[in-house]
Amino acid sequence: MPDGSIQNAKGQTMYELFLDKDKNSYSIYRPNNNSLERDSISGDRLVFPSEADAINWMKERMRQRGYDLVNF
């Protein structure tokens, strides 16, 4: 179960946030693609040191793609 999520205006979950307790970091999952977000250059999984950093990344990514943000 995700530790957080962001939905678009239609109620569709765009991103889910997961805490990796062992590494004390957060990863972002895209349910539409069944995949974790990865760095576009290295291909490594994106890892965020805090929940706030991960949420800010998700919000900015959705804004760039033209989505209205409704639920966090």
What is the 3-class SS of 27-71, one letter each residue? EEEECCCCEECECCCCCCECCECCHHHHHHHHHHHHHHCCCCCCE
User: 32-47, pLDDT tens digit by residue?
Assistant: 888 888 988 888 889 9
Say whether pTM exceeds 0.85: no
**CA pair distance 34, 72, nearest whole angstrom:** 20
Q: Sorting pLDDT into bands at 50, 70 and 90, what band is 69?
A: low
Task: Show me where the domains of the chain are located.
Answer: 4-64
